[in-house]
Structure 1
């Protein structure tokens, strides 16, 4: 019944997008005049690019009247995408993250997105800027935590639940107990914490729910920053930036040098699946979790009518068809987590013993953030100053003093965008 319901919803979504394109009787693919070629820009490593290309091949098999030319941008993706748009050579379809979308929305044509297709409200909203959908969601990149069960058992610490997250206080207490030794032989309870992620875990956020106030300098933000700073002190539970520089934290994790690996993304699925699954497990991120990236597909405003119609067909396929969504992750590479319910069982079957359910739960429960103009500029300025002034980076100042000042600076920048 669930599969039939998904198929029906997908069909309705497809018809809505096709109707929006206003194509003649020849259909959305070719406008009645033959094959249409569109270009698709995306990023990723070799394995991820291979996954994308396999999805393109599946699409072309199902839609022989549309040819998709891959444009794999291997570095400086957003900069090169912006340059191509400014130069009048925009790709017909561009992969774009929810964090970068506000900076590119003006270059994309509005699309009709059936939010009911997606099992997560956060995914459904990912392509929306200021109340308008400019991109079609197609992959979620939720964060979980990987743990070394053997280390927990050896230290006499209870192994975390695979479904209920630890509190942030419980995480810190466990990390301290799992830390032992000193110098080069020190075993850490946790890999380094990411401030932006730990801010959310502690219940904080950069902005208020309406996106009009900066809130990272409140009690939640200060507590998050202090935890990150304390974790890397000589008696702390995580390696400092100097200790971790140039080191592969997953390798440290698999070697038993760190017991917990927070900020664990789906691109690591193949790595953990290759380990001894009796010793390693995926569990939810502590507290409120971490920010989730959702990648969507934007369609160039400059595209022709036939190209737009073909691009909408392509975006719908990538977003809702099991033929595409089932290819998002494998034992060799994973772009992320499917965004439609019908592909979740195939996703979890990739590595059934490591609890991939934690990834899908994180997608379902992800915290959504308000639309903020100049978000990238504001947060880049904040992060640069936070790192230069506190021990989260290279500074020495007290986060309790620095954060309220940076929050006031953030508010000035935010007010200037209104």
Structure 2
């Protein structure tokens, strides 16, 4: 990584509009004042935490003047903590970020424009088409870590027990629902074909893309109607009614492990980089991924920046934070540690440093199999999208628990969406 002097960097930052604490006489970076500690936080499973511990150890070994104070939690708890910290002006130095929340935090001045750091973070090995994921207007608030795509996971061992054929990319949605019902009827007691997948906003977006729409338009408006959402949430009503889906109660009991990870469903939609975690959770020898069902030729798929690195605008150690991000994005050893567990590495340096074997090779092969039909990657989503996503899941659960009818849930989501997107 190319380095600039801390004095030059500090001058550039103070001349900007971010008002960093460092400009007021903070302790500076390691190069200027000796060892520093930076706070770093991420969301994920225990598998990701174990890998992260190894990656942090590799960084600290090669950067003895910078210590990392690590912290991680589950996805929902993660954003609750960030909201509290942002309100108090105390975000961590470095954070794992998601497209759903990037604009919300960036436009409120909570994130550092890393363009202010010059060439401190090397992004030359990241595909140009992916970099806009972290850009808003002329500023860059997120550095892509990896890419992923949606897929349908299934467990061959469960299907063998049930005597049911594997799902295929040629399945229509009706085919898939018939498949779910057959698995639930024939699988061992307590094992089902699937959970109710309609509570996931990204899957709804995928279904909309199959129909030539999108959940959010380029100008930040909703790209669907109440009728579209009602159709989506009602699409699994018959499966809910006849008990073909694992119950909402059991799903809650198993959380934070998914029903598929617990081995209690034969299939689950998710991002392809979940494969490593699923293998750990299930203990299965083999799990498979295929393109999701579609009623036409378009599966509605796209590559997404699975996550990004961002720096809090309140950091007192911007250069140390940049050194850490540069290492985590570009170092081949880090690529080898994570493999594809966070998605396929975004930087060429890390991809070249990874020997894709086993699950990693499987994810690469899956993304190659869908490469010819990938749609446009999403840019940073509008302010409020993270809230929309959370509310979507909550209302999907309310439908499953019978607390709300589909019509009530649709009306409530649109009311909450209008409020969230006006904030």
Match of 1:8?
A: none
Q: Residues 11-410 of structure 1 correspond to what in structure 2 (within 5 A)?
A: 14-15=1-2, 18=4, 22-23=8-9, 30-31=30-31, 34-64=34-64, 66-74=65-73, 76-87=77-88, 89-105=90-106, 106-112=109-115, 117-119=125-127, 121=129, 123-130=130-137, 132-140=139-147, 142-149=149-156, 159-160=166-167, 164=169, 166-180=171-185, 185=189, 187-195=191-199, 196-203=201-208, 205-213=214-222, 215=224, 217-219=226-228, 221-234=229-242, 237-247=244-254, 258-263=265-270, 266-272=273-279, 274-277=283-286, 280-286=287-293, 287-289=299-301, 294-304=306-316, 307-329=317-339, 334-344=341-351, 346=354, 348-351=356-359, 357-358=365-366, 367-368=377-378, 371-381=381-391, 384=394, 387-388=397-398, 391-395=399-403, 397-399=405-407, 403=410, 405-406=411-412, 409=415
Question: Does the residue aligned with 1:146 lie in a helix, a strand or coil?
Answer: strand
Cα distance in structure 1, aligned partners of 2:180 and 2:376: 24
For structure 1, which runs of at least 5 residues remain unmatched after alignment? 1-13
Once the 2 structures are TM-superposed, how far is the Cα of residue 316 of structure 1 from its aligned partner? 1.7
Cα distance in structure 1, aligned partners of 2:394 and 2:263: 32
For structure 2, which runs of at least 5 residues remain unmatched after alignment? 11-27, 116-120, 294-298
Corresponding pairs, count: 382
Once the 2 structures are TM-superposed, how far is the Cα of residue 200 of structure 1 from its aligned partner? 2.5
User: Please, what is the CA RMSD of the aligned residues?
Assistant: 4.3
Question: Does the residue aligned with 1:107 lie in a helix, a strand or coil?
Answer: coil
Question: Does the residue aligned with 1:282 lie in a helix, a strand or coil?
Answer: strand
Once the 2 structures are TM-superposed, how far is the Cα of residue 295 of structure 1 from its aligned partner? 2.5
Asked if structure 2 preserves the Cα contact closer than 8 Å seen for 1:139 and 1:336, the reply is: yes
Asked if structure 2 preserves the Cα contact closer than 8 Å seen for 1:148 and 1:260, the reply is: yes
Question: Does the residue aligned with 1:189 lie in a helix, a strand or coil?
Answer: coil
Match of 2:14?
A: none
Given the two structures, how large is their TM-score scaled by the length of structure 1? Answer: 0.72
Asked if structure 2 preserves the Cα contact closer than 8 Å seen for 1:337 and 1:360, the reply is: no
Once the 2 structures are TM-superposed, how far is the Cα of residue 99 of structure 1 from its aligned partner? 1.9
Match of 1:7?
A: none
Cα distance in structure 2, aligned partners of 1:295 and 1:233: 36
Change (3 A) 1:385 1:259: closer
Cα shift readout 1:87-122 (whole Å, capped 9, x = no counterpart): 45443222222222233222221013777633484x
Cα shift readout 1:355-409 (whole Å, capped 9, x = no counterpart): 5533677897675266312223444455555654xx344245344x863x45753
Asked if structure 1 preserves the Cα contact closer than 8 Å seen for 2:133 and 2:144, the reply is: yes
Once the 2 structures are TM-superposed, how far is the Cα of residue 312 of structure 1 from its aligned partner? 1.5
Once the 2 structures are TM-superposed, how far is the Cα of residue 300 of structure 1 from its aligned partner? 2.6
Question: Does the residue aligned with 2:38 lie in a helix, a strand or coil?
Answer: strand
Change (3 A) 1:371 1:80: closer
Change (3 A) 1:296 1:402: closer
Higher mean Cα deviation, 192-201 or 75-84?
75-84
Asked if structure 2 preserves the Cα contact closer than 8 Å seen for 1:175 and 1:188, the reply is: yes
